[in-house]
């Protein structure tokens, strides 16, 4: 019995390998399908939720700073402990938002064992801006062009059919 196979096209899928600071491959990668119409929407959602998360954290810290401070349970004061809780909650929210865009465990792959912090969030933003964002813009333009080509012709054909029908109905 002969087996037949279908060869799948992966022309618009980009696979980005991840290397350590010293250039060693981690074996991890991020993969993006730039034909996915939802990808630009997820990117936009990432930007919006990131902004909301930062705003939320700032507001929570302002509230804490306005309170009278008292001795905490351990090394830090009560306000400092609460600020740490806010920052940890912020990081948790950010990981969810970024992974929604980067894919499952995307943040962890990019961190390669490091802890999430303010500088690592900035690094992830830079990586997205440098390696992924330009492809999204190009992909969006390509998809728009394909839609206009495909459905623009259909619209012209429909107009011709309507015109022909109108002319024939007048006879």
Model confidence over 127-137: pLDDT tens digits? 999 999 988 88
In whole angstroms, how far apart are CA 128 and each of 8, 19, 89, 132?
A: 27, 15, 23, 5
Model confidence over 23-76: pLDDT tens digits? 999 999 999 988 888 898 999 999 999 999 999 999 999 999 999 998 888 889
Predicted structure pTM score: 0.77
Give the per-residue pLDDT at 171. 45
Contacts of 100 (CB under 8 A, 6+ apart): 42, 45, 46
Residue 128's CB is within 10 A of a number of other CB atoms, namely: 20
- Tokens for 106? 């995307």
> Angle, nearest 10°, between helix axes 39-66 and 133-170?
130
In whole angstroms, how far apart are CA 25 and each of 16, 18, 73?
A: 11, 6, 44
Parse the chain into domains and list their residue ranges.
37-132
């Amino acid at each position: 019995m002969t087996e037949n196979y279908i060869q799948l096209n992966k022309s618009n899928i980009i696979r980005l390998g991840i290397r350590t600071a010293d250039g060693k491959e981690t074996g991890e990668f991020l993969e993006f399908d730039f034909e996915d119409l939802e990808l630009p929407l997820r990117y936009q959602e990432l930007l919006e939720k990131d902004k909301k998360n930062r705003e939320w954290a700032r507001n929570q810290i302002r509230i804490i700073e306005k309170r009278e401070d008292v001795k905490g349970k351990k090394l830090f004061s009560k306000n400092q402990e609460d600020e740490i809780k806010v920052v940890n909650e912020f990081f948790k929210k950010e990981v969810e938002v970024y992974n929604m865009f980067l894919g499952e465990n995307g943040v962890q792959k990019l961190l390669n064992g490091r802890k999430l912090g303010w500088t690592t969030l900035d690094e992830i933003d830079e990586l997205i801006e440098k390696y992924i964002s330009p492809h999204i813009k190009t992909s969006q333009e390509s998809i728009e062009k394909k839609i206009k080509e495909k459905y623009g012709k259909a619209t012209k054909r429909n107009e011709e059919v309507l015109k022909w029908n109108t002319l024939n109905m007048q006879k």
